[in-house]
Amino acid sequence: MSQPSPFRTSLLEQAEGPARNASDNATMGEIIATRFSRRGLLKGALAVSAISATVGPVALLAADEARAGGASAFSFPEVEAGVDAHHHVAEGYDADILLRWGDALFSDSPEFDPAAQSAAAQVRQFGYNNDYVGFIAIDGSAEHGLLVVNHEYTNPHLMFPGIVTIVEKDGKKELQLAGLTRDQVDIEMAAHGGTIVEIRKVEGKWQVVRDGKLNRRITAATEMQVTGPAAGSDRLKTNADATGTKVIGTVNNCAGGVTPWGTYVMAEENVHGYFSGELPAGHAEAANYERMGIPEGAYEWANFYDRFDLAKEPNEPNRFGWIVEVDVNDPTSTPKKRTALGRFKHEGAESVVAANGKVVFYLGDDERFDYVYKFVTDGTFNPDDRAANMDLLDSGTLYVAKFDADGTLVWMPLVHGEGPLTAENGFAGQADVLIEARRAGDLLGATKMDRPEDIQPASANGKVYVMLTNNSRRKDDQIDAANPRAKNAFGHIIEINEDGGDFSATKGTWEILLKCGDPSVAEVGASFSTATTANGWFGMPDNCAIDAAGRLWVATDGNSPKGTGRTDGLWAVDTEGDARATSKLFFRVPVGAEMCGPLFTPDDQTAFVAVQHPADGGEDWEGFGRLSYYEDLSTRWPDFKDDMPARPSVVAITRQGGGKIGG
Ligand code: FEO
Ligand code: CA
Ligand code: CA
Ligand code: CA
């Protein structure tokens, strides 16, 4: 087996790994002339930081001045950007730790003991690397409900004692990991998946209801059912499952969503990392797997479980990379992999009910040069009959986006038999189109994007916000109107207006809301408003949320001490009026962490945020300056106890004295 990467799917690999989309789609639209030659200027984020340290923020006004204009929809005192071992929230707010990796969910859950971990304990405890956070109200309450949380992946160098050796390679220190034991792999599998847990606000503070009757852990060992057009396809059949409909587990659940009918959807993202081994020579899936980067072999699970070994179960990877739907009302329900929504590296699945009652899911495929999708159900949402909605996700149309240079957006259907999606091109039926959704998008001429992450519809105004996190590989001759920067180190945000405000429309318009990065460095080409302060700008948008007031909040993945001089965090971004494209820092994470969630309760009085992989890094932070691993962590957030590792955690942010978040 190949050696595991200690960093797994963290930003380092994503930023520098191979681009998968080798299709020859022309980049769309006119080439936008760049005002500055970037040659020699942008050698990545490190170079930019060096420049920004010497250039004053000439283009920036103070936040107070911006507020004096009365334009911003937000009125909180901005957090100072920076890097340290702690989290920071805007003054006047409390940020309370609600759930940590290892916290008990049931009365029989063992107390978390990092020195004596077991899969049996982990499966009764909150999992690792919390990412998506959703809230499903109980009896319509904004203060009592189910919190649903994805556990995306595991970092063994931060989780397990005694497995790291520091080695020197080419004069540089590196972490070397001992091979994981079967017990450790089982712990990893139990730390993946999702948590469903009842929570309640008591005297202004959120509490976990241990033993809530709907509390549940879903893991990489939970049995799932495959449904929709690809269920039962020969390409999904394995030695262990001759029906092609029963899968063990879900992995790399990144962002997700809560459906209008109150189910929890989990997006399977970087599934390539879990597979190892070689396909039998001449196997028909070779090109399909190449397009998905399978196998990467970042995990050692194939050492102990045949299903992750391509030589033994060559069809297994076709059973991952889907959207999984969980009926949270029945803790014994079998989660369903809904194949109608296509198979790719799904970032998330935020949804909205269109005016015609159809439900629309926005889907990003997080890879350089991959695509933006949406799924429109055939059926309509019935607000009075939950049961009537339970299979809406099995029938509908998956579309892929073409962003034309004139600002037109075209949603192209991925329907077998239409256009190039025919047997001649290797698609025998709709199952094939869905299993190879990426190749279908290639053939339709979809626009190659700068890593689509979370995509958020705003039900109040018919707009949709697309987070594009970065694309260090885009070359000058590959820029297009929707991805206008070569070597896009800091990402951008696109705003979509669906035709007539109809989310189910097959056309719309688009414009760039924000090009990210330091606006005081002209060569970066960032487009924050001039009211944005030196603390307010960010790079690498990833997850996002729209609060009940319709305002946009953006969480980031990849800000760093040397890269942007700041950790990741949660930023409030104005989208309307004079303040459009003004951003303010509301919360920031401890060193090494990524900001996930975010989620606002229906009354806007709580923001839940997920702090993922704290202490994963520290070598470029002056306050630490060396490699971080279990025995020597850059932060022991949130417990700060010598015998406790850093613990990914969900944080509940409330306003002191009550009131809405963000003013
Ligand atoms: Fe799991 Fe695309 O972030
Ligand atoms: Ca993400
Ligand atoms: Ca979101
Ligand atoms: Ca990301």
31-35, 286-290, 383-387: which has the minimum mean pLDDT? 31-35
> Could you identify the atom of ligand 1 that is nearest to the CA of residue 345?
2
- Tell me the CA–centroid distance for residue 129 and ligand 4, in Å: 13
Query: Tens of pLDDT along 434-477?
Result: 999 999 999 999 999 999 999 999 998 889 999 999 999 999 99
The answer to whether position 1 is within a domain reads no
- Tell me the CA–centroid distance for residue 132 and ligand 2, in Å: 8
- 206 in Cβ contact with 284 (< 8 Å): no
Residue closest to 368 by CA, chosen among 481, 448, 288: 448
Q: Return the number of other C-beta atoms located less than 10 Å from residue 65's C-beta.
A: 12
Ligand positioned closest to the Cα atom of 270: 1
Query: Tens of pLDDT along 80-100?
Result: 999 999 999 999 999 999 999
User: Exposed/middle/buried for 25, CB within 10 Å: 0-12, 13-18, 19+?
Assistant: middle
Residue closest to 219 by CA, chosen among 252, 254, 197: 252
Instruction: Please name the amino acid found at residue 72.
Output: S
Instruction: Give residue 461's pLDDT.
Output: 84
The answer to whether position 234 is within a domain reads yes
Helix (H, G, I), strand (E, B) or coil at 156: helix
The answer to whether position 663 is within a domain reads no
> Could you identify the atom of ligand 1 that is nearest to the CA of residue 9?
1
> Could you identify the atom of ligand 1 that is nearest to the CA of residue 469?
2
> Could you identify the atom of ligand 1 that is nearest to the CA of residue 14?
2
Query: Tens of pLDDT along 143-155?
Result: 999 999 999 999 9
Radius of gyration of the chain (CA): 23
Instruction: Give residue 452's pLDDT.
Output: 98
The answer to whether position 662 is within a domain reads no
The answer to whether position 586 is within a domain reads yes
Residue closest to 228 by CA, chosen among 423, 379, 396: 396
List the shell of residues around ion ligand 3, using CB closer than 5 Å.
Answer: 454
Bridge partners (DSSP) of residue 510 are 496
Calculate mean pLDDT across residues 200-207.
97
C-alpha to C-alpha distances, 604 to 207, 318, 549, nearest whole angstrom:
18, 40, 8
Q: Could you give the angle at the alpha carbon of 245 between the alpha carbons of 242 and 248, nearest 5°?
A: 95
Instruction: Give residue 20's pLDDT.
Output: 63
CA distance 35 to 56: 20
- Tell me the CA–centroid distance for residue 11 and ligand 4, in Å: 7
Q: Which two tokens stand for residue 487?
A: 């070597």
Instruction: Give residue 71's pLDDT.
Output: 82
Query: Tens of pLDDT along 33-53?
Result: 222 222 223 333 333 333 333
Ligand positioned closest to the Cα atom of 596: 2
3-state helix, strand, coil in the chain (%, to 5): 15, 30, 55
Instruction: Please name the amino acid found at residue 379.
Output: G
DSSP secondary structure code for residue 161 in this structure = T
Ligand positioned closest to the Cα atom of 11: 4
The answer to whether position 406 is within a domain reads yes
Residues with CB under 6 A from ligand 1: 152, 254, 269, 347, 366, 453, 542
- Tell me the CA–centroid distance for residue 231 and ligand 4, in Å: 29
Q: Which residues of 632-657 are buried (b: 16+ CB within 10 A; e: fewer)?
A: ebbbbbbeeeeebbbbbbbbbbbbee
> Could you identify the atom of ligand 1 that is nearest to the CA of residue 255?
1
Protein residue with least CA distance to atom 1, ligand 1: 254
- Tell me the CA–centroid distance for residue 542 and ligand 4, in Å: 5
Q: Which residues of 333-344 are buried (b: 16+ CB within 10 A; e: fewer)?
A: eebbbbbbbbbb
Name the E strands within 452-500: 452-458, 463-468, 492-498
| φ/ψ of residue 76, rounded to 5 | -125, 150
Q: Which two tokens stand for residue 426?
A: 């290797």
Contacts for 380 with CB less than 8 Å, ≥ 6 apart: 356, 357, 358, 359
Residue 206 confidence class, pLDDT cut points 50, 70, 90? very high
Calculate mean pLDDT across residues 514-529.
97
- 615 in Cβ contact with 636 (< 8 Å): yes
Instruction: Give residue 534's pLDDT.
Output: 98
- Tell me the CA–centroid distance for residue 55 and ligand 1, in Å: 32
- Tell me the CA–centroid distance for residue 222 and ligand 1, in Å: 22
The boundaries of the domain holding residue 23 are 6-655
Quick check: 66 pLDDT over 90? no
Q: For residue 355, how many C-alpha atoms fall within 13 Å in the half-sphere facing its CB?
A: 10
> Could you identify the atom of ligand 1 that is nearest to the CA of residue 453?
2
> Could you identify the atom of ligand 1 that is nearest to the CA of residue 131?
1
- Tell me the CA–centroid distance for residue 543 and ligand 4, in Å: 8
Q: How many domains, the chain?
A: 1
- Tell me the CA–centroid distance for residue 443 and ligand 3, in Å: 29
CA distance 659 to 636: 31
Calculate mean pLDDT across residues 585-600.
98
Strands 492-498 and 396-403: unpaired
The answer to whether position 612 is within a domain reads yes
Q: What is the CATH number of the domain that holds 52?
A: 2.120.10.30
Instruction: Give residue 304's pLDDT.
Output: 98
The answer to whether position 660 is within a domain reads no
